[in-house]
Structure 1
Amino acid sequence: MTVTTPSAGAADHWADELWAAVAAGSESAARAVAFGALNAGVSPESVLLDVIAEVQARVGHAWAANRMTVAQEHAATAVNDRVVTALAHHPAVLDATPRDSRGRVTVSCVDGEWHAFPARLLAQVLSLHGWEVDHLGAQVPTPHLIGRLHRSAPVALALSASLAPRLPAAHTAITAAQAAGVPVLAGGAAFGPDGCYARLLGADGWAGHARGAAEWLADGPPAPVRHQPLDDLPHLADQEYTLVSRSAPRLVGAVMSGLAERVPAVRGYAEVQLQRTAEDIAHIVDFLAAALYTDDRDLFGRFLTWTAGVLTVRAVPAASLLPALDVLRHELRDLPRSVTILDHGRTVVDVLTDPPNVLHQHQHHGNPA
């Protein structure tokens, strides 16, 4: 099957139109734009990837830049998701979908991963390329996923994860699927720049976008590599990841107590501020655990850089992260890899911020699910 791609200008035009509709929360207007693009001769794949996916990326950037609330971001994502569903029944899409199946592919999010839209797009694109797609959606527990693979016997599993704390669950799913004889193609932001963590965790392939996934499948998935998780990550033998991940609730409580002692402003926080502060600290602990799992301090540094940017556009100084990092370092002072990662994180934040090192009295930001 040959799929044509319109000029960048044409895709940009339709993306701008769809953005206006999605930002307004109008499903009918968004559907009309997508149908209009198809009727104008834009290929179904391009509507999905050059228009809808582009707009979804803008939604994420708008939330991070504080131009969308969490509710607006969720509403926009829901509109885009329903447009993808509507497109599946459009005559242009039905005509472009091969009638003879090339085989079955399972598309699933990692256990704990709620960001299902990238997998949703991938499932639709693979259908356009002639694959029979078993799309399982968000947050699929690994035992249920493996049971499904045994029953459906796909030629490959496309595994999606957006957040780095999902990497341990992804690793479990990868090794279990390969043990069941199913090769795994990893995709999503969780797998790091250029898919570096996909390779680290032993995935059979990685694709940075849906077109790359279709190309990987078209070339013929390789026989799955069978391996043991500890063989992939020998540094896990020091148990630091296990200690930090299992003690996460205690660590969050200890950091909250430490902040109250070090920063008087925290003692005056309202209940909602305390709750959101605890949520922020929980994210820090989660990403520290992910950095321990991968033995990559840069994973933690990238998370703090992103978090500092989100805080800054909300008028919260990046320096507000420093006391929490200091207290967490004190709590984990006997764990050398944790200390190294936290010291690196503090250096990253120091570069991004201008002293003083004080926790700014503020209403903490929300974090979209």
Structure 2
Amino acid sequence: MNCRGLAKTNHPQTRSLFIRHLRSCGIDLLALQETHANTEPLQQMFHTQFHAQDSLWSPHCGLVSLSLHLSFINPLFSPCGRCISTTVIHTNNSIPSFRICVVYAPASYRDRFSFLRSLLNSPALLPRLPSSCILLGNFNYTYRTTSSNPCQAPPEWLNFISNHFVDCVTLSGEVPAPTFHRQLCSSSIDYVFASSDLAPCRQSSSVSYIHPNWSDHCLVATTFKFTAKHATGKGMWHANPRLARNPTFCTEFDAYISTSVFLLSPYMSPQDQWDRLKHMLTKFIKSFTRRRTQTLTTLEARLQSKRDKLIHKFRQQPAQNFQLPIIERQLQQVQLERVEILALRAGKHWRENGEISAGYLKRTVAERQA
């Protein structure tokens, strides 16, 4: 995710909302470019604002673990700060470790060629025979397996990517979705590549529109499903306790229990009756939650889907895509409303915890306002 200068201080509230939005997207590992995290205090502030389990920062890139179970070992940084390479491990060793390499290539032709060639000559950062490796970031060129303009990157780099990696965002035969927008121009320059052995673990990918006040790039995401080393079950299901404060739910739940009790067979043992009743109530609660009014998260997902369909439908005639600006304005409103609600919830939760340390309050307020 290109965050377009995360360290800019002229709009701290905008940055806070952007970070809160990224935290709410359900991402485990977040790769950032154009961070401008030049100092250790800035890096520590970003770590705190992201509520990170672990994080790595350079003047150009960042890698943030938002999962309690994922951390980094053996990090390496390119001298220019445009590449971070590290090994990702699971705290419980439940999934195999893998290598991740975050890249922010220069925009200029000459600097980009020099940078990509330097990566090819740095096997510590990017192995010559990559295995269990994810390469992602803003490459500042459009990758195509068959391109009429092969001069956007060195030929040896293109051959290396083609021979050892798989594009996880755009499947073979598909047209890449634009990931960068500026006024009427758009292009595909952000990618997630997986080494050939890791590509079969890819489950899904998405290119999500982001409010233009936050970034002119889309959020490019890929979900991988790894085989667990230790088999685990689904765990115990719990109903959302907030349903108990929903009057409609309480009324329907009370009526359902009264009806369900009379449906239980008198020939069943008390334990079997109890198990059967729990099963029936579980189905009712799940059904009720699915019937609830769509949340902002659901609405945002639907708008993102509509936007993707419009982009693909009018790819050859973008000037006729009159609905796209309307959908994007709706997305902007939804994203802002959602992060503002999250901010209110965070403040309420913080007060309810009864934190009274003056030093803690001062540091927290400063970090949230920064």
* TM-score normalized with structure 1 length: 0.26
Of structures 1 and 2, the one scoring higher in RCO (CA 8 A, sep 6+) is 2
Higher strand share: 2
Higher helix share: 1
Please say which structure displays the higher CA radius of gyration: 2
* TM-score normalized with structure 2 length: 0.26
